[in-house]
Amino acid sequence: MPEQITTNYLIIETALAAYAVLEDHMLLSREKLPEGHPFKEADEMVTQWCENHGAAEMRRAAWSMAPAIETIWSGLTEEERDGQICWDFEFVPQLMLFCFDWDTHGYPSIPNEHNPAAVVVDFRTARENVAKFYAGRA
């Protein structure tokens, strides 16, 4: 009989959302960010990582990222979490793109993982930079 895994329900939900981000990167690999976008290179690295590792490793990576994603989410203000950002369609993909290091050989990691408050600041700064990028294109 397989080993029974016990964990927080939110971690499972987060791992599923992270896997959906990776799967979407594979399925939508032709829909790339525009030239000059602050995270164009990271976007391409995510796609390359997925192509190099395949579905099984994408699932393992999603599972390994889930606790950090949950920790960073809890570091946002209640106002940010409740109305300013959609958890599964904005926060999870943006955090993975804006704040994770997508080394094509290992699992993705967060450079400031042991300092969640710093990652929250990095995330907010990244969102501001993206907003400025699109505002300049209007």
Instruction: Say how far apart CA 128 and CA 80 lie, in whole Å.
Output: 13
- What's residue 113's pLDDT? 79
Q: Does residue 7 have a pLDDT over 90? A: no
Q: Which residue has the tokens 């969640």?
A: 116
> pLDDT-based confidence at 104, cuts 50/70/90?
low
Contact 6, 101 (CB under 8 A): no
pLDDT in tens, 34-62: 889 999 988 888 988 998 888 999 999 99
| Residue range 19-44: mean pLDDT, rounded | 86
Domain regions of the chain by residue span: 9-137
> pLDDT-based confidence at 80, cuts 50/70/90?
confident
Query: Which tops the pLDDT comparison, 108 or 106?
Result: 108
Global confidence as pTM: 0.86
Q: How many residues does the chain have?
A: 138
